[in-house]
Chain A
Amino acid sequence: MARDIKINTLPAPTWTWLRVNDVNIKLAESFTAADISVENAAGVTVSENDADLESGIRAVETGMGSEMAAFVDGLGLKVKRIEAAEGTKAESFVSFKAGFTDGQASLYEVYAGKNSELKIFIDNYSTDESEGSGLSDIRFRLEEGSKVTLIQVFRQNSSFDFYDNIGADLGKRAELRIVHIVSGTRNLYLGATGDQKGDKSYFGIDTGYIRKASEKLDINYVARQRGKQTESSLKAGGVLRDTSYKCFRATIDFINGCTESKGDEREEVLLMDPDVVNKTIPLILCAEDDVEGTHGASIGRLDEDIIFYFKSRGMTEDQIMELMAASKLINVINLIDDENLRASVRESLEIEAD
């Protein structure tokens, strides 16, 4: 039996004929837990628990929307709880290796205590070459002054579909930085919402992707800026090859009262083959005058001058395209402030070091 679920809904719908307002997916009714190994960091507690129905973390708005959140909650699976106590400054990453086969899910709840610092790395991969689908759901509660970095790699096999759903509740001066590195998976759906209730909170996402063959990437990132002096940054950069498809929805929502807040959306897309499909929908919703909102998008093929430059250095056009594609991932890999982890990610993605 399959369940029909609507995900990645645009906060303000547009013309129906563009087919970007949302996505309808089918998911199996039940999922089992994915195989997850943990390399913990000093000062951070990782445990496996029932979902927390008391603190309100399950009610956090998620990027894929309420239908998906309710579906996940209904799976009845255990949750990996990651906690950094008040004042903890974790020096290294908590690393999860999440191996998926068909019908598996990984659920996380992240609690960052007041003035804590926490770094999380999740490597999502396939444990076999079989076709299938899997999902991941991460809910965050960031208390005052906490800083959390989340790095996720998506490198499942080319017959595998994956759904990654994130929701975060940010307190005063809390900061959540997310890096998404997409180099695998057949059809990948990413949804993330940051609810910036706290003044001076920061919510930022950097996504680098390569899509080839008939792979698909569908994204919905939302920054709900409620507190004063909040900042958001929603960025994506990538390459589309062959007959791949990408839809990038980014929304900065300046809610009345969020005075002196700033939000920025950026996208750069390299189109490398004639049959690719690119959709970009960068929204700014504004109910407050004392804000600064900006967005910029640049979509096209590689500049002829750059191609000429590399050809004159002896590279073939194919090699140039591969280099450009890799550079989009390297840009986001370099945001990982851990040299060993950077090297490990490059190795897993078969990208040479600079």
Chain B
Amino acid sequence: MKEKAHVEDINRSLYDFRNVDTDVYKVESGLTEEIVRQISKEKNDPEWMLEHRLKSLEIFNNMKMSEWGPPIDGLHMDNIVTYIKPKDNKMSADWDEVPEEIKSTFEKLGIPQAERESLAGVGAQYDSELVYHNVREEVAAQGVIYTDLESAMHGERGDMIREHFMKLITPNDHKFAALHGAVWSGGSFVYVPPGVKVEIPLQSYFRLNAPGAGQFEHTLIIVDEGADLHFIEGCSAPKYNVANLHAGAVELYVGKNAKLRYSTIENWSKNMYNLNTKRATVEEGGKMEWVSGSFGSHVSYLYPMTILKGDSSKVEFTGITFAGNGQNLDTGMKVVHSGKNTSSSINTKSLSKDGGISTFRSAVVVGKDAKGAKSVVDCSSLMLDNISRSDTIPAMDIRCDEVDIGHEAKIGRISDEAVFYLMSRGIPEEEAKTMIVSGFADNVSKELPLEYAVEMNNLIRLEMVGSIG
């Protein structure tokens, strides 16, 4: 029997602090028309948005759950509070105006520091509402809009919001898209004008503090013709014994010859049900880049989708998923080749340890008219013990002959030869395995800005390093 190093579970104390909510406004738990109307009133929705919410609620109530994917038996909507905010919440562009306890939360997470050092703008959401939103003057001077979605909806971009909101992700897509449509709150709107390159990233950070609560932020990004943007999304929550739910939505419009990179380090606590939906559409010559690290949540359903609508449009997807004890993470991607001469490149890695379940699920669809489509999918899975699980469920649906589609997958354990090689160079076994796993995740870390690559590598190291049994 081959020996294995024993590794402890992750030390999440960095993220696992919590504030006791004493002065909050919240709706009752559960999901009723009255609650949806209450949320809409709280947000001062225009009439069309209230109608949208109610229609979404109707769809949610009538739609069945999917028959695939991890079980979500532990999620009971009757127990979820869909809207909660500090009583006198007012979004600010100045950290000093943010309530002390909330400000301290984001300081512990390093957000204000990151903003000062390396970001063009930041949005910080706490439970159901944004508490802070700011963009650098020089970026705003370029005509870049980065604001909370609700302000934008009521402002001069209101028509633009209405034109795009939940048109890519519709309430009919699946049950939790419908739920999102009914109770969404918070989230950001970004517009980058034609030809503008935003040199440093914008970031939104989502913190879910309240136990038994749901977060349903909506991110809408429009990158106009020839523009270029890197957007980073981060999230975390303290761990509770009750379920929390995240059913956010991200809609991305990449214009002609534009480029958008969307990076996410997902680090929800292990009581979280992360049922998130992300979708991008790319016009002629445009490029969409996804960089995705999934480390948290109890259960995840996460499949960023890209529609390559325009001729010569492209997508690159780089992702890593690490499923540990108590986690069932079902992640992957979908791409639809619709225009001519489109290309997609997907490179994903997954790790399972300590009873964790990781599933890679993908779909590459090539439409009838998508002549010249090229797609390469490469997924690798590493099993760190024999009590975990790793499944690969890719699908290709090709309806055009002038294509070039390749798919490769492999699954296995850490190579004994690689460990032996490093140990023969004086590196202890545990460190050798950590190095190998970090190297395995290199596809993602090298795509991230340095600070986020460091955070990701720290998360990996925390998962791997422990006592030798």
Q: Tell me, yes or no, whether B92 is within 8 Å of chain A by CB.
A: no
Select the stretch in B131-139, B263-271, B397-405, B427-435 that faces chain A. Answer: B397-405
Q: A13-B67, A288-B383 are in contact. Are A277 and B391 (CB under 8 A)?
A: no
Q: Which of A279, A289, A292 has the most CB of B within 10 A?
A: A289
Residues of B within 8 A of A296 (CB): 406-409
Contact A294 B393 (CB under 8 A): no
Q: Is B410 an interface residue (CB 8 A)?
A: yes
Give chain A interface residues in 267-311, CB to chain B under 8 Å.
271-301
For A12, what are the chain B residues with a Cβ–Cβ distance below 8 Å? 68, 391, 393
Give chain B interface residues in 377-409, CB to chain A under 8 Å.
381, 383-386, 388-409
Q: Which residues of B contact A18 (CB under 8 A)?
A: 363, 395, 397
A20 contacts chain B at the CB level, 8 A cutoff:
yes
Q: Compute how far the CA of A18 lies from the CA of B361 in the bound complex, rounded to whole angstroms.
A: 12
B411 part of interface (Cβ distance < 8 Å): yes
Nearest A residue to B396, CB-CB: A280
- Once the chains bind, are B395 and A271 in contact (CB under 8 Å)? no
Min C-beta distance of B351 to chain A, whole Å:
11
A173 to B216, CA, bound (A): 55
Contact yes or no, A271 B384, CB < 8 A: no
**A278 contacts B410, CB within 8 Å?**
no
Chain B residue with minimal CB distance to A301?
A: B401
Q: Say whether B412 faces chain A, with CB atoms less than 8 Å apart.
A: yes
Q: A256-B386, A289-B413, A290-B386 are in contact. Are A20 and B401 (CB under 8 A)?
A: no
Q: Is there contact, CB below 8 Å, between B395 and A284?
A: no
In the complex, what residues of B have CB within 8 A of residue A289's CB?
A: 383-386, 388, 412-413
Q: In the complex, which residues of chain B have a beta carbon less than 8 angstroms from the beta carbon of A316?
A: none
Q: Is A14 an interface residue (CB 8 A)?
A: yes
Is the interface on chain A under 10, 10 to 19, 20 to 34, or 35 or more residues?
A: 35 or more
Which A residues lie within 8 Å of B394 (CB)?
281-283
Does any Cβ of A come within 8 Å of B66's Cβ?
yes
Sort A-B residue pairs by CB-CB distance and give the 4 closest, nearest first: A289-B383, A271-B401, A299-B405, A293-B411
* Interface: B12 (CB within 8 A): no
Separation in Å of the B238 CB from the closest CB of chain A?
Answer: 32
- Of the residues A16, A284, A293, contact of B66 by C-beta under 8 Å: A16
Contact present for B395 and A20 (CB under 8 Å)? yes
Instruction: Fill in one digit per residue for B312-336: 1 if any A CB lies within 8 Å of its CB, else 0.
Output: 0000000000000000000000000
Chain B: residues with Cβ within 8 Å of the partner, total of: 38
Complex-state Cα separation, A18 to B2, whole angstroms: 41
Contact present for B402 and A14 (CB under 8 Å): no
**Is B368 at the interface (CB under 8 A from chain A)?**
yes
A301: chain B residues within 8 A (beta carbon): 401-403
> Would A271 and B398 count as touching, CB distance under 8 A?
yes
Contacts of B393 in A (CB 8 A): 12, 14, 281, 283
Complex Cα distance, B413 from A15, in Å, reads 28
From residue A297, how far is it (CB to closest CB) to chain B in Å?
4
Interface residues of A in 298-351 (CB under 8 A from B): 298-301
The chain B residue sitting closest to A282, CB to CB, is B394
- Most B CB contacts (10 A, CB to CB) among A15, A20, A292, A294 go to A15
Give a binary string over B1-43; 1 marks a CB under 8 Å from any A CB, 0 the rest. Answer: 0100000000000000000000000000000000000000000
> For the complex, what is the distance from the CA of A217 to the CA of B74, rounded to whole Å?
41
Cβ–Cβ contact B368 & A274, under 8 A? yes
In the assembled complex, how far is the CB of residue A13 from the closest CB belonging to chain B, in whole angstroms? 4
Q: Point out the residues of chain A lying under 8 angstroms from B396, CB to CB.
A: 278-281, 297, 299
Distance from B445 Cβ to chain A, minimum over Cβ atoms (Å): 23
Chain A residues lying within 8 Å of B392, measured Cβ to Cβ, are 283-286, 295
Cβ-defined partner of B406 (8 Å) among A271, A277, A294, A298: A298
A-side contacts of B361, CB under 8 Å: 14-15
Contact A295 B391 (CB under 8 A): no
Q: Besides the contacts A12-B391, A271-B400, what 12 more A-B pairs have beta carbons closer than 8 Å?
A: A14-B361, A21-B68, A271-B398, A277-B399, A285-B392, A286-B383, A289-B384, A289-B388, A289-B413, A296-B408, A296-B409, A299-B405
Q: Which of A259, A294, A296, A297 has the most CB of B within 10 A?
A: A297
Question: For B408, what are the chain A residues with a Cβ–Cβ distance below 8 Å?
Answer: 294-297
Contact of B409 among A256, A272, A282, A290 (CB under 8 A): A282
A14-B395 contact given A282-B407, A289-B383, CB 8 Å threshold = yes
In the complex, the answer to whether A15 meets B67 with C-beta atoms within 8 Å is no
Q: What 0/1 readout, one digit per residue, does chain A (3-31) give for beta carbons within 8 Å of chain B?
A: 00000000011111010110000000000
Known: A16-B66, A289-B385. A297 touches B391 (CB 8 A): no
Assembly CA distance A274 to B398 (angstroms):
10
For the complex, give the distance between the alpha carbons of A327 and B220 in Å: 51
Q: Which of B66, B386, B410 has the most CB of A within 10 A?
A: B386
Over the window 276-320 of chain B, the binary record of Cβ atoms lying under 8 Å from chain A Cβ atoms (1 yes, 0 no) is: 000000000000000000000000000000000000000000000
Q: Judging by beta carbons under 8 Å apart, are B401 and A286 in contact?
A: no
Cα of A285 to Cα of B391 in the assembled complex, Å: 4
Can you pick out 6 interface pairs between chain A and chain B where the beta carbons lie within 8 Å of each other?
A: A15-B66, A284-B392, A289-B385, A294-B409, A294-B410, A294-B411
Residues of B with C-beta under 8 A to A274: 368, 400-402
Complex CA–CA separation, A310 to B274 (angstroms): 54
Interchain CB contact under 8 A, A290 and B2 = yes
B177-201: contact bitstring with A at CB < 8 Å (1 yes, 0 no)?
0000000000000000000000000
Q: In the complex, how many angstroms separate the beta carbon of B137 from the nearest chain A beta carbon?
A: 45
Contact A276 B395 (CB under 8 A): no
Residues of B contacting A284 in the complex (Cβ-Cβ under 8 angstroms):
381, 391-392, 409, 411
Instruction: Give bound CA distance, A197 to B118, whole Å.
Output: 57
Residue of A nearest to B359 (CB): A12
Q: A286 vs B352: C-alpha distance in the bound complex, in angstroms?
A: 10
CB B310 to nearest CB in A, in angstroms, measures: 21
Q: Are A271 and B403 in contact (CB under 8 A)?
A: yes
Q: Which residue of B lies closest to A285 (CB)?
A: B391
Q: Which residues of B contact A293 (CB under 8 A)?
A: 409-412
Cβ distance B372 to chain A, nearest Cβ, rounded Å: 11
B395 touches A278 (CB 8 A): no
What is the CB-to-nearest-CB distance from B426 to chain A, in angstroms, rounded to a whole number?
26
* Other-chain contact of B391, A281, A286, A299 (Cβ < 8 Å): A286
Q: How near does chain A come to B189, taking the closest CB pair, in angstroms? A: 29
**Interface contact B390-A286, CB-CB below 8 Å:** yes
CB of B376, distance to nearest CB on chain A (Å): 10
Do A300 and B404 touch (CB < 8 A)? yes
C-alpha spacing A276/B397, complex, angstroms: 11
Per-residue 0/1 for B63-77: is the Cβ within 8 Å of any A Cβ (1 yes, 0 no)?
000111000000000
Residues on A with C-beta less than 8 A from B363 are 14-15, 18
